[in-house]
Amino acid sequence: MLSNKSSVLRRHANRRTFLGVAGLTSAAALPLPAIHASDKSGTKNAIIGEGEHTYECIHDWGMANLPKGASYGNASHGVTIDSEGLIYITHNQGNPGSIFVFEPDGTFVKNMGAFHVAGKTSRGHGIDLRKEGNEEFIYLAASDSKLGFAKLNLNGEVVWRKELEQLAEETGKYPKGARYRPTNTSFAPDGGYFLGDGYGSNWIHQYDKEDNYVRSIGGSGKADGQFQTPHGQWLDNRDGPPKLVVADRANKRLQWFDMAGKHLKTLGGFLFPADIDVQDDLMLVPDLHCRITILDKENNVIVHLGDNAAWREVALKGFKMRGQRPKWEAGKFVHPHDACFDQDGNIFVTEWVKTGRVTKLRKV
């Protein structure tokens, strides 16, 4: 992402904009924060969190502004923000394109990413932005094994696409019949990037700033350094040299690696971590199992936003709740799939739910 978080995207090494660029421990559960109502401007939005991390839940942010015929379809998947504050949301099995773009106030701007449409619907998934020189670029992973990983400019024009055939040749990791379905991208401080094959063969592929293949990290397994669904990753430079931190979703943990791919540490205590964002000393972890976690610089849990054991039991039963919009409750999440901070410390959350749902957590 771009510039430091104190400016329009205070995200040097933070999620969704970036400038230029083993021991097992546990994130212990905290007491449930209070949820109450706000009646600002005549509305009654739930308030969640505690202390400095208290937020007004503005569910279905921007949805009323979608043009006629536009839909998130089966899910709102990824979110990123550019240097002007525009919000980019990927969607799956919706239309048109695979990306919707909004102004910070929720005004719809445009749709993009039509090349990630398969058949009649979209296959949008992971999306991240980086400034390279004087221009910003989107790195986009499709939720489809037959659609290439791509780099495009903010006008939606494709700079390049990397198809499975090329990836297989470069990495040597994809013999005939091997699974491939990339989920997310992250960026290295030297201008390189990491591509996570989270739904495929559980590799994270590292490339340098010249787009040359460097190495693959992980592979399938439960041991430190291995993954079961490395769904999302980001650069963590909060303490010491920059590190790659990976949301190892099905293993219910985060893992850290140095820039040479060496495993450094593992942090357990998560439910189903889906992705990561960093702002200043804070780490944001959307968890597909109904909550969002904020960690401090030492990776201690500050707060679990929306955490409610009774609600989680209902929401996870057969994963049916994702298609039962009338039963969704204010201040509670169904399946957070991605999340990122904006310049003011607000949080945008996208959920893996039918019809899609974007929630703005406005810091109060």
Predicted local distance difference test score (pLDDT) of residue 38: 43
Is residue 101 within 8 Å of residue 88, measured between CB atoms? Answer: yes
Which pLDDT tens digit goes with each residue over 209-265? 999 999 999 999 999 999 999 999 999 999 999 999 999 999 999 999 999 999 999
Is residue 109 within 8 Å of residue 86, measured between CB atoms? Answer: yes
Q: What is the dihedral of CA 196, 199, 200, 202, to 10 degrees?
A: 50
Digit-by-digit pLDDT tens for the chain (364 residues) are: 333 323 333 443 444 444 333 444 444 444 333 444 443 444 589 999 999 999 999 999 999 999 999 999 999 999 999 999 999 999 999 999 999 999 999 999 999 999 999 988 999 999 999 999 999 999 999 989 999 999 999 999 999 999 999 999 999 999 999 999 999 999 999 999 999 999 999 999 999 999 999 999 999 999 999 999 999 999 999 999 999 999 999 999 999 999 999 999 999 999 999 999 999 999 999 999 999 999 999 999 999 999 999 999 999 999 999 999 999 999 999 999 999 999 999 999 999 999 999 999 999 9
Which pLDDT tens digit goes with each residue over 2-49? 333 233 334 434 444 443 334 444 444 443 334 444 434 445 899 999
Please name which of 158, 173, 157 lies closest in space to residue 206, comparing C-alpha atoms: 173
Q: What are phi and psi of 171, to 5 degrees?
A: -95, -25
Is residue 306 within 8 Å of residue 48, measured between CB atoms? Answer: yes
Domain 24-363 indexed as CATH 2.120.10.30: yes
Task: Tell me what the pLDDT averaged over the chain comes to.
Answer: 90
Pairing label, strands 24-26, 263-268: parallel
Q: How far apart are CA 202 and CA 284, in angstroms?
A: 22
